[in-house]
A and B are shown apart, each in its own frame.
Chain A
Amino acid sequence: MTRTSPRPFSVRRLPGFTAIAITCFVLLYAPIVTIVIYSFNAGDSVALWRGFSTKWYTVAAGNQIVQEATLRSLVIALWASGISTVLATMAALGTTRARNYRGRTLIYMLINQPLMVPEIVTAVALLIFFSSIKIATGYSGLGYLILAHSAFCIPFAYLPIRARMEGMDLALESAAADLYATPWQTFRRITLPLMAPGIAAGAMLAFVVSLDDVIITEFVKSAGQDTLPTYMLGQLRRAVTPEVNAISTALLALTVLLLTVFFILSGRNTARS
């Protein structure tokens, strides 16, 4: 009889691995699948199936409040992802272009602060901070929400950009300078094109994160500034209608689309360099 050498440890061979894995997936996806299915329910109840219909999508799309909230969500997400991506790009340039320097870890931590501080704390802090500005200036437009979203989107935009830059050979920029490119030409012709997939991925992630934020938005918004998620929350407090299912499903579809593009872009990151 031949004895095979012991196989390396693999969690796959633990007893019950398959059962646990299936349970996890069911827990994760069953509610989502349910919401998607019931968004096509013809009846008024969220729990009783009365046949297939796209009626609730029509209802939601026709609801003026939903339209306004959607538009507001998109405006905020566009601004916030734009602002945070520009800032994150500059931060990534600053933190990856130099050789190791002191305080680097501290700077990473400061940039990633929104990931670590509990969101409710940031929300309360922003509420107090902005209300004093509101009193001082009298301004109460969307600017506060855009600023708040920009702030917590920075780490989400920063991480993919930094990952992309760290995979980039510093010698490429030296090579460009060696071939008579001025610092600006080097940035335009070499650094920026190589960073582009990371920047696009970061922007996409920031957009998605802004789009479905509830807590900070709920605290910072002024009257009449509901975004899609806070509108839905308000609806749920009163009565659960399949309209909310329809909106959730639409939001889910958009998020899945953006995240797919994100993964394709960040996949290309590693394949290229």
Chain B
Amino acid sequence: MTHETAIAIRGVSKIFGPVETGLKALDNVSVDIRRNEFFTLLGPSGCGKTTLLRMIAGFETPTNGAIELDGTDITAEPPFRRPVNTVFQSYALFPHLTVAQNIAFGLEMLGRGKDEIKATTAEMLALVRMEAMAARLPAQLSGGQQQRVALARALAPRPSVLLLDEPLSALDLKLRKQMQIELKRMQQDTGITFVFVTHDQEEALTMSDRIAVMDAGHILQIGSPRDIYERPANRFVAGFIGESNFLDGTVLAAGPPARIALGGGQELSIDTADSPAAGQPVTLAVRPEYVLLGAFDAPGSLSGRITNLIYFGTDMHCHLTLDSGEELVARIPSGLSGKEGLETGAIAGVSFAPGALRIVGA
């Protein structure tokens, strides 16, 4: 299956301040965002997500590189000539205009006919379920309602791409969950390409078709939520998306299967074709839910001492110190936690679900 590209970011860099000494907010970033997909930029605060989004909208000009929209170079176009709309983090609703006037604003600026403006505004009000609030001013709305109006206002001109900068971060948890589902529904209903910015990995995983994980002005990995979660490209991604245990070791044999020596004379075998050469140091990552505990003398397992057990309701976190001295967390479903021998101070056998151990760098 081939994908049409909606936005192509080509080698874009952004330096704030003087080129030599300034702050490099984006460093040679390239990515193709596909038509009709829900694409998420995910990364910690300050990694350059907003800068990249503002560049697509036209509020920042790249220091280097180019941006293409549907095959045309738009790098030099001002914001008001780009068929791209933004949902701002602060919503930026026009305080002197009613909800309906806010939604109609873009259509008016595009010079659409009165009837069309009226019909589209009504349609958008219905889409975000704000029909009853059409005549209110933004100051008379709750945060969640303002958020919906901002969304309707940005969707009304039917942009080819909708940009959303942490649109849910100001909402409380319950409303946020609800809006996540609604946003996803709207994206599917309208078929508009969404570029969504968040620092919340759970939000990214549940909503996105594809995610770009960013750190310090770089894109580290692009992939589906499942790719990113199960096959993190490096230690940063493995640590930022969900929780991970990291084990340091040395390659004994590149394999496959690769054999890795951990400290304290323990050894692991991994079914992978891309291990570094023998003698090289490696870091392994494994998710807590793929750490399996058994009898300490079970064949092929490492052994470790349980240092702490924390009850979380649906599951239990079991902290262990391996014989190699490394710390490890195992997550055990509550149903299994009554298992014999699971108590602080006990020695347990530690093994890993097949395919769960990954090499994430040196």
Contacts and interface: CB of A to CB of B under 8 A. Distances in A.
The answer to whether A and B interact is: yes
Given A180-B109, A181-B109, A174 B59 contact: yes
B95 interface: yes
Contact of B92 (A169, A181, A185, A189): A169
Given A194-B95, A272-B95, A175 B86 contact: yes
Interface of A: 169, 171-172, 174-182, 185, 189-190, 193-194, 272-273
A111 B80 CA distance: 33
Contacts of B153: 179
Given A171-B88, A185-B109, A272-B139, A178 B57 contact: yes
Interface in B82-122: 84-86, 88, 90, 92-96, 105-106, 109-110
B92 A180 contact: no
Contact of B90 (A169, A179, A181): A169
Given A174-B59, A174-B79, A179 B95 contact: no
Nearest to B103: A179
B157 interface: yes
Contacts of B105: 176, 179, 181, 189
Given A185-B109, A272-B139, A179 B92 contact: no
Given A181-B80, A185-B109, A175 B96 contact: no
Contacts of A190: 94
B88 A175 contact: yes
A180 B110 contact: yes
Contacts of B93: 175
Nearest to A273: B95
Contacts of A172: 92, 94-95
A177 B92 contact: no
15 contacts: A172-B95, A174-B86, A175-B88, A176-B94, A176-B109, A177-B80, A178-B154, A179-B80, A179-B154, A181-B80, A181-B109, A185-B109, A193-B96, A194-B95, A273-B95
A170 to B, nearest CB: 9
B242 interface: no
Nearest to B111: A180
A174 B94 CA distance: 11
Interface residues of B, number: 25
Q: Which of A178, A180, A182, A189 has the most CB of B within 10 A?
A: A178
A180 B106 contact: yes
Nearest to B156: A179
B108 to A, nearest CB: 9
A204 to B, nearest CB: 20
Nearest to A185: B109
B88 A177 contact: no
Given A174-B86, A177-B59, A272-B96, 6 more contacts: A171-B90, A175-B92, A175-B93, A178-B154, A180-B81, A189-B105
B299 to A, nearest CB: 62
A177 B79 contact: yes
B85 A177 contact: no
A73 B235 CA distance: 77
A174 B88 contact: yes
Interface string B65-83: 0000000000000111100
Contacts of A178: 57-58, 79-80, 84-86, 154
A180 B80 contact: yes
Contacts of B154: 178-179
A175 B79 CA distance: 9
A240 B356 CA distance: 101
Contacts of A185: 109
Contact of B80 (A182, A194, A273): A182
A29 B277 CA distance: 93
A171 B92 contact: yes
Contacts of B139: 272
Nearest to A173: B92
B78 A179 contact: no
Contact of B157 (A171, A174, A179, A273): A179
A190 B88 CA distance: 16
A84 B79 CA distance: 33
Interface string B38-70: 000000000000000000011100000000000
Contact of B106 (A179, A194, A272): A179
